[in-house]
Structure 1
């Protein structure tokens, strides 16, 4: 009976060793798989980080361009505009189109309407010396 117990004990030890070896091998496999997965995730992280840097760089370029455009527009609005000829300015305010078939006649008529002739009689103004007349 004693011999049988010893055999059973040895048998349990062998099975335990086999199970431990199997567990150890399985654990090693799991560690290797996890290592590969970790490496893949690190590569993915690296690619995503590069993408993020690229997007941020493009965003920064776009923001600088917009700021530059705003600065350009702002500085352009402060520059004096080119002076227009007074006649052209007044004609554009009136809004009447000028016919190209008779520009002289229409322009002549229009200038009479816009700038009526004023007659100032010449007389003895000795009593008004030093005064200026403004209309």
Structure 2
């Protein structure tokens, strides 16, 4: 069994593309596109394929944290290894709705696009995530 815990998104922090997610209220549940578990995907050949699950989501200190499992297959172990080494990150896949503009920082001339309504639809393993995310925690149990 391969278990993980990861920061998968940041609210109020611009992505590399210049947009950001609206904050949730402290204690508010992470909005989801469907009931948990949600898929964790990775590139398999030329397309994304499921490599695990997101079993739990939480919003803590303006970040979205996911916990779940990666398949105990050879492919899953490869993904777990790249995550443990910090070569990849787990990133939220979201559905986005209402958009607006907002001022970021102290300069009123600097504005960014704000996603005012969003829902988590799963997560994916990526080499270059939208945000600068910390390395996920990976626990490998019972594999030989």
Asked if Structure 1 and Structure 2 have the same fold, meaning a TM-score greater than 0.5 normalized by the shorter chain, the answer is: no
Q: Pick the structure with greater CA Rg.
A: 1
Structure with bigger helix share is 1
Using the size of structure 2 for normalisation, the TM-score is 0.15
Using the size of structure 1 for normalisation, the TM-score is 0.16
